[in-house]
Structure 1
């Protein structure tokens, strides 16, 4: 039923002409029919634009740097292909990811291997291919050196991963004492290793803590060089925020939302939400990082990097996938529930993964009505999945749709390419995984599409 006089919070996404062109083309209805279920569509031109913007930020600051796409942010093969074509590398964390990157044209020396406690097979393959390896612990360093010595293999290229002092309970990285021991072991290993520098990954999206830790890593490089180590690179990991909405919409939403706005009175802590607005996002966040002054330094991070001859490495995932895709479901059923509707779609929240982190993907989905005579007004609705789990909700929030949703209509969740659309997907209930559709040449009168070559 239509609702009047009830204010429900909304969170509109920032405008994106490429997405709007696809939504307005009529193609999504045809694809939904042809594919017979939910699907994701991908916009690789956005990936290219984001990558160029990051490289421009480095060039403007006069900093030598290299971008690796964090493959865990999206499984589609097209992202690896665009990384290679754009002169970027790929960040991988498994044998499967490494092999796939190689198979899609990325050279071994343009791969960085991250993650904890890497298997012997992964270490051996990484060394064989000349990949850079972020070593997470002393026993892993010992295993890597042993891998080289029992080769014969080329020297292992490595970074030593630091435990962030501000996050001492992280399970990743080495503390100061362990780093000192690791550097000594690298010296002892001689030609078996090339210790190229240090890395970190910091939770959250704040700029200054990243600048502070990057400054410390530059200092560590200088100390390592005294020991005779190469130490000419630092990696800051990911953590460059994406801004999905404008500042006013985001702050208004946070101020207004409460558990009465969610199905079954569901409540969320605002601290569990992704920061859907960020004043410095993507390449803008990188620029802000480069001009920041690390604690204890009079120079900016860019100046420190230039003066020390240290190359800046980064492993963005979501920031490279901003506006690079969306997820489409068809409504299968509609129930009325005390002033709002409960929609059931032909997929699961495994394809919209914030739900599986006890959070909510907040940007408003688009409703594409099959019938243009659908009643106009305010029609609140939450969105559930086609499974037997009470908790399997794509959107707990009662979204105030401008038309009455009906079975057969499409819901389009925008900007889901980064971590949302496939991070947690599984064929639960033997439901097929949503295929990925690559949209090419969106400037054409009608979008042209193909299936991505990666389906798992």
Structure 2
């Protein structure tokens, strides 16, 4: 099917917010060469964006007069370059496995600048964390006992711990300790004496709403006071991540949610609006942190920043997506095109595991950009869905019929924007023995020919 240039657009679009650095990479003409060189899908990384996002978070803390420290959530992207940049710019890393801890150390993050999170941590991970002076977010009483035993058995330094709190607003969360468990944990910290440095409290809170996060942070401030009465240090609180980012503008997002229906998707796939990640947020990134610090917790006349200043507490943050906003994109090559009733079905040289949302029964919605590889590509409106190079009927990168401005053909490139945060490798696997897409670091985008290199991820 060919749709003429004058045919009205019948499919909702979701273009990503403009990003000059990504546009410069596309305009440079380097992507076809990289696709040829690596003979498969790949991700390109823009570490300058990571640097800018981290600086903005530091500036938000400083503007609020809050003593804070940022840990990059390593799980959000395995690339070495982001751990390297975090270390160079005075940030730490949030890790949850021996592999992540090893990678962070190997790429410059000092042990005392690590925070170890996750439930039911492996004893080997806990031993390494204590040995390297990492901060451990203790999730359960038995874990606290294990850490204490490790610290008492010949370690040269005390174990540094935070006690993770079960949010009262999310009582069914599998993370954190109840009030009774916290009371027991505090007593055990006192009993452990110099073997433990109990530095404060933390929480894991799902969602992006600011008010619940501010309310829970103030609860942690009260817990710190109670812990100090018992003689414990308790001068730090960690509020985790949960800083939203925006992939698109408000009007586009709300129009998309209102207009989308099964007929806009291959096989009339049905998605509920609530299944989608919120691809627009009224405030995002460092602005969301500033707004959080300005939020008055429930029953308080003072902002969260004011509470932190008054109590002398240090605020710890563990952002992932907020540090990786616009820090990378994913490139596939079209290797098959089929005509369907009113649209085309493309097959690319990778899988939806590299876009993750499909495996959460959702869809990665920002429009991919088509880069034709022949100058005679017909212009117009050409709806197409995008399938993967696997034998699974459900393996679709994009169920939605995206209205491309040129006719997609074999050999063309599809660039999915802003995929560095969780998308590009949180679910990747070498299914069908397909190699994992390599990560290409673009060190300079202000050149006619950007400089690139392979990321130094060890595994």
TM-score where L is the length of structure 2: 0.98
Q: Which residue is equivalent to 1:163? A: 166
Q: For residues 385-441 of structure 1, what are the alpha-carbon distances to aligned partners after superposition, in whole Å with 9 as ceiling and x for unaligned?
A: 000000000000000001110000000000000000011111110101100000011
Q: Which residue is equivalent to 1:341? A: 344
Provide the C-alpha distance between the structure 1 equivalents of 2:145 and 2:398, rounded to a whole number of angstroms: 47
Provide the C-alpha distance between the structure 1 equivalents of 2:9 and 2:60, rounded to a whole number of angstroms: 45
Indicate yes or no: 2:17 matched with 1:14: yes
Indicate yes or no: 2:253 matched with 1:255: no
Q: Which residue is equivalent to 1:2? A: 2
Q: How does 1:65-84 map to 2 (within 5 A)?
A: 65-84=68-87
1:146 shift after superposition: 0.8
Provide the C-alpha distance between the structure 1 equivalents of 2:230 and 2:117, rounded to a whole number of angstroms: 25
1:7 shift after superposition: 1.4
Provide the C-alpha distance between the structure 2 equivalents of 1:430 and 1:440, rounded to a whole number of angstroms: 30
1:375 shift after superposition: 1.2
Alignment check: 8 A CA contact 2:9 2:381 kept: no
Indicate yes or no: 2:382 matched with 1:379: yes
Alignment check: 8 A CA contact 2:103 2:458 kept: no
Provide the C-alpha distance between the structure 2 equivalents of 1:446 and 1:455, rounded to a whole number of angstroms: 27
DSSP 3-state at the match of 2:28? coil
1:296 shift after superposition: 2.2
Q: Which residue is equivalent to 2:242? A: 239
1:455 shift after superposition: 6.3
Alignment check: 8 A CA contact 1:211 1:301 kept: yes
Indicate yes or no: 2:136 matched with 1:130: no
Alignment check: 8 A CA contact 2:131 2:155 kept: no
1:272 shift after superposition: 1.1
Q: Which residue is equivalent to 2:313? A: 310
Q: How does 1:217-232 map to 2 (within 5 A)?
A: 217-232=220-235
Structure 2 residue aligned with 1:27, among 27, 30, 33?
A: 30
DSSP 3-state at the match of 1:245? coil
1:151 shift after superposition: 2.3
Q: How does 1:146-225 map to 2 (within 5 A)?
A: 146-225=149-228
DSSP 3-state at the match of 2:228? helix
Indicate yes or no: 2:445 matched with 1:447: no
Q: Which residue is equivalent to 1:109? A: 112
1:260 shift after superposition: 0.7
Q: Which residue is equivalent to 2:358? A: 355
Provide the C-alpha distance between the structure 1 equivalents of 2:143 and 2:189, rounded to a whole number of angstroms: 12
Q: For residues 261-300 of structure 1, what are the alpha-carbon distances to aligned partners after superposition, in whole Å with 9 as ceiling and x for unaligned?
A: 0000101111110000001100011001000011122210
Q: Which moved more, 1:379-388 or 1:99-108?
A: 99-108
Q: Which residue is equivalent to 1:265? A: 268
Provide the C-alpha distance between the structure 1 equivalents of 2:236 and 2:440, rounded to a whole number of angstroms: 37
Alignment check: 8 A CA contact 2:74 2:320 kept: yes
Indicate yes or no: 2:168 matched with 1:140: no
Alignment check: 8 A CA contact 1:238 1:315 kept: yes
Provide the C-alpha distance between the structure 2 equivalents of 1:444 and 1:51, rounded to a whole number of angstroms: 23
Aligned length: 456
Provide the C-alpha distance between the structure 1 equivalents of 2:66 and 2:268, rounded to a whole number of angstroms: 50
- Unaligned residue ranges in structure 1 (runs of 5+): none
Structure 1 residue aligned with 2:303, among 300, 314, 334?
A: 300
- Unaligned residue ranges in structure 2 (runs of 5+): none
Provide the C-alpha distance between the structure 1 equivalents of 2:53 and 2:17, rounded to a whole number of angstroms: 16
Provide the C-alpha distance between the structure 1 equivalents of 2:87 and 2:166, rounded to a whole number of angstroms: 30
Q: For residues 312-352 of structure 1, what are the alpha-carbon distances to aligned partners after superposition, in whole Å with 9 as ceiling and x for unaligned?
A: 00000010000000000000000001000000000000111
1:373 shift after superposition: 1.5
Aligned-CA RMSD value: 0.8
Q: For residues 56-86 of structure 1, what are the alpha-carbon distances to aligned partners after superposition, in whole Å with 9 as ceiling and x for unaligned?
A: 0000000000000000000000010000001
Structure 2 residue aligned with 1:394, among 392, 397, 402?
A: 397
1:6 shift after superposition: 5.1
Q: Which residue is equivalent to 1:404? A: 407
Q: Which residue is equivalent to 1:58? A: 61
Q: Which residue is equivalent to 1:423? A: 426
TM-score where L is the length of structure 1: 0.99
Q: Using a 3 Å threshold, how does the CA distance of structure 1 residues 292 and 115 change in structure 2: closer, same or farther?
A: same
1:5 shift after superposition: 3.9
DSSP 3-state at the match of 2:173? coil
Alignment check: 8 A CA contact 2:165 2:177 kept: yes
DSSP 3-state at the match of 2:176? coil
Q: For residues 197-255 of structure 1, what are the alpha-carbon distances to aligned partners after superposition, in whole Å with 9 as ceiling and x for unaligned?
A: 00011101111110110111111111111111100000000010010000000000000
Alignment check: 8 A CA contact 2:53 2:323 kept: yes
Q: Using a 3 Å threshold, how does the CA distance of structure 1 residues 109 and 442 change in structure 2: closer, same or farther?
A: same
